[in-house]
Amino acid sequence: MGIVNVTPDSFSDGGQHDTTESAVRHGRLLLAQGADLVDIGGESTRPGATRPLVAEELDRVVPVIRELAGEGALVSVDTMRAEVAEAALDAGARIVNDVSGGLADPRILDVVAGSDATYVAMHWRAHADRMRDFADYEPDGVVESVRRELGERLDAAEAAGIPRERIVLDPGLGFAKRPHHNWELLAALDVLAGLGCPLLVGASRKSFLGSLLADEGSPRPVDEREHAHAALVALLAARGVDYLRVHDVRATRDALAVVAAMSPDEGEER
C-alpha cells in the first residue's frame, strides 16, 4: 500500500504532494515501483496535528482518487469522516482506511456497509492533538488492551453490516503508543491475528524507528529511517502480514524479493 499524502503537514512528506497534479504523479510513480494499491489521504494524523475542514479534505482527495481510479489503479482513501468516505467511494475508491476504526465518526461504518468496499479499522484512542495523553495501557498491557479494543471495533463494524471478510485490522503503531508499545505489538501480531481478520501494519518512517536509531539522544531524522523499515518489512512479510502501508515502495519491494528468494517454495527458481 503506497502512501500518497495530499497534505501540507504530514510528518514525513507534508507539502511534497499537496496539489492534485503532484499527488497523481506520485501515485503513478508508486504503482510503477510495484505498489499493489495507493492510499490517498487528506488529513495529517501526525502527533499534534489539527484537523482540516471537511471541504478541505474533500478538495484534496477526491480529484486524486478520481484520476488514479480512472486509470485502473486500486485506490484506498485514508479518512475518518463519513462524508469523505462516501465521496471517495463514488470517485472510485475500493477501500476505506479509517485510522479511528469508526470512533471518530460512527456513520462511516454505515457508508462502508452500504458499499462493497473493504474496511480497515485501526486501533485508535484520540485525535492527533490529544493522543499522547492516552498512551496508558495499565493494568492489562498494550497487547491485551489493543486486542480487546480492536475486537470492539470489529464487533461494531459487523453490527453495522460490514461482513467480516471485508474487514482488515491495524494495530495503530504510533497512535497513542510509546516506542516500547510498538515493539511489543509487533512481537505479538499473532495475538491480533487471532481476531480472525487480515492485518495491516504501517511502520514506515515512524518515530519509534527514529528512537531506536537515536544518535546521542536525538532521534534519527525521518528521511534516514528506511533501512530499519526495510528490515522490519522483511520480518513482517515472513510472518505473513497481509498489508504493508509504506512510503518507499521500491525499498519495500526489494525486501519482499529477499523474503521470497529465501522461502522454501522458491528454492528451485534460485
Same domain? 94 vs 168: yes
Q: What percent of the chain has pLDDT over 70?
A: 95
Same domain? 49 vs 73: yes
- Domain residues for the domain of 67 are 2-203+241-247
Residue 156: what pLDDT?
A: 98
Same domain? 159 vs 211: no
Phi, psi dihedrals of residue 216, rounded to the nearest 5°: 55, 40
Residue in 199, 88, 116, 186 with CA at minimum distance from that of residue 154: 199
Same domain? 137 vs 46: yes
Same domain? 235 vs 194: no
Same domain? 164 vs 208: no
Same domain? 169 vs 226: no
Q: Is 177 a residue of the active site?
A: no
Residue 166 has pLDDT above 60, yes or no: yes
Greatest CA span in the chain, whole angstroms? Answer: 55
Q: CA separation (Å) from 194 to 3, 197, 215, 239?
A: 27, 8, 37, 14
Q: Is 28 a residue of the active site?
A: no
Rounded Cα–Cα distance for residues 52 and 65 (Å): 18
Same domain? 98 vs 25: yes
When divided into structural domains, the chain yields a total of 2
For 179-228, the pLDDT digits (tens) are: 999 999 999 999 999 999 999 999 999 999 999 999 888 999 988 999 99
Mean pLDDT calculated for residue range 171-176: 96
CATH number at residue 82: 3.20.20.20
Residue 217: what pLDDT?
A: 82
Same domain? 139 vs 263: no
The active-site residue, picked from 66, 147, 206, 225, is: 206
Same domain? 60 vs 182: yes
The active-site residue, picked from 245, 250, 253, 270, is: 245
Same domain? 135 vs 180: yes
